Amino acid sequence: MTNSSVELKYQNQSLQLPVFEGTEGEKGVDISQLRAKTGLITLDPGFVNTGSCTSGITFIDGDKGILRYRGIPIEVLAERSNFLETSYLLIYGKLPTADELEKFTQRVKRHTMLHEDIKRFYDGFPRDAHPMAILGSVVCSLSVFYQHETGDPAYLAELNRVRLLAKLPTIAAYAYKKSVGQPFIYPDNSRSYCENFLYMMFSTPAERYEVDPDLIDTLNLLLILHADHEQNCSTATVRMVQSSGASMWASITAGICALSGPLHGGANQEVIEMLEQIHADGGNVKKYVDLAKSKESSFRLMGFGHRVYKNFDPRAKIIKTACDKLLKKMKVADPLLDIAKQLEEAALKDSYFIEKKLYPNVDFYSGIIYRAMGIPVNAFTVMFALGRLPGWLAQAKELNEDKATKIGRPRQVYTGPALSDYTPIEKRKA
């Protein structure tokens, strides 16, 4: 809290509203007493100017292209960390020692399997069921398998965080196997976190499968880049549900459901769908670049620009290098990838995109990489959820430990009819 304040004058009242300042200089006006003292509330559709909490997890400066987890730049973590270490950092607020990381990793490995009865749930899903719907359904159902556990609440909350980190890749891999009619592959706990997921996704009992180390490294990178992103739609949803005292299973399920919306988690899928549209139209990249620049056209280039980053997306710089390296090694012959490279080149050189700072973002490159890796397009959002899980867990933990936490209860400004009479049904006119 700073010593400064903002003065609000309304009718004959004058109210001093304290200004709260974060560690990076961000300032927010504390309006917690506004309604009680003036009868007023603030109106902010989408909450784009409203801070719902204070948080020590992730810092973003969209104008400068900065993203840090617990103070550590994303560029450093991408180069030097792995996903489970980054998860530990987000959840517990510090980098683990070698011993702490080893114990954490082994705990996660011990919980990768699903209860055998859960496999029967997959029999009830249609073969073409969307993987995100399956992911949310199965995560929510996990609550009934652990509903009678008793003991120290803090210990059980910690155990459930580990369980979620361990089981979500298994749930996701089973959803994919269901869609292609292949048998489920049990996790192999001798493998690393990302290697195990790729093993469950793409191996079969019929032949030996070795996971490409470069695919493991690339997946590690992608998950780290998506691990948290401040108070976005799904994260705010997790915190809102958790504020009611709901279980961790319910809160994470709510986050998965929020992420499934095309305006939030579907951006990298939309990139591939856009590339398919351009390919079906003869691959004329220039035509669609011109359409994107035309005020008369409704066409938008997906995967360019970002609501938060007004300069560049720091994650996109990192992932572009990985994308170029992986595609060069894999030598993937894919016309959509050729179109993507042409779009990237056009956007980076065209003055229109440069002036408007519409650079390729993390969704543009992640969609391309996932396609090259063999991940189905409708599972792209599932990959997003796998990466975002530790951020959700960290945010829920932070909320639970905040003594100032209250149940989320936004206000509204009513715009419906004023006091009205009840008209008997026989006197109502069509």
Domain ranges of the chain: 5-51, 72-224+378-387, 268-377
Q: Of 57-66, 173-182, 196-205, 305-314, where does mean pLDDT reach its minimum?
A: 305-314
pLDDT score for 101: 98
Looking at the DSSP bridge assignments, the partners of residue 20 are 28
- For the domain spanning 268-377, the CATH number is 1.10.230.10
Q: pLDDT-derived band of residue 241, with 50, 70 and 90 as boundaries?
A: very high
Residues 83-109 have pLDDT tens digits of 999 999 999 999 999 999 999 999 999
Share of the chain above pLDDT 70, in %: 99
Instruction: Give me 272's structure tokens.
Output: 């591939």
pLDDT score for 365: 87
DSSP state of 57: S
Residue 131 has pLDDT above 80, yes or no: yes
Average pLDDT, the chain: 93
Residues 49-59 have pLDDT tens digits of 999 999 999 99
Class of domain 5-51: mainly beta
Q: Please state whether beta strands 13-21 and 5-10 pair in parallel, antiparallel, or not at all (unpaired).
A: antiparallel
Q: pLDDT-derived band of residue 136, with 50, 70 and 90 as boundaries?
A: very high
Q: pLDDT-derived band of residue 1, with 50, 70 and 90 as boundaries?
A: low
Element at 177 (helix H, strand E): helix 153-180
Q: Please state whether beta strands 66-69 and 58-61 pair in parallel, antiparallel, or not at all (unpaired).
A: antiparallel
> Rounded CA gap, 47 and 413, in Å?
14
pLDDT score for 2: 62
Which residues are known to be catalytic?
306, 363
Task: Specify the fold of 72-224+378-387.
Answer: Citrate Synthase; domain 1 (1.10.580)
Q: Of 114-118, 193-197, 355-359, 383-387, where does mean pLDDT reach its minimum?
A: 355-359
> Rounded CA gap, 233 and 254, in Å?
11
For residues 334-349, give the mean pLDDT.
84
Lookup result for tokens 């400068």 = 64
DSSP state of 151: S
Share of the chain above pLDDT 90, in %: 70
Residues 165-196 have pLDDT tens digits of 999 999 999 999 999 999 999 999 999 999 99
Which residues have C-beta within 8 Å of that of residue 368, sequence separation ≥ 6?
271, 272, 323, 327, 337, 340
For residues 35-48, give the mean pLDDT.
91
Structural contact between residues 58 and 226, judged by C-beta atoms closer than 8 angstroms: no
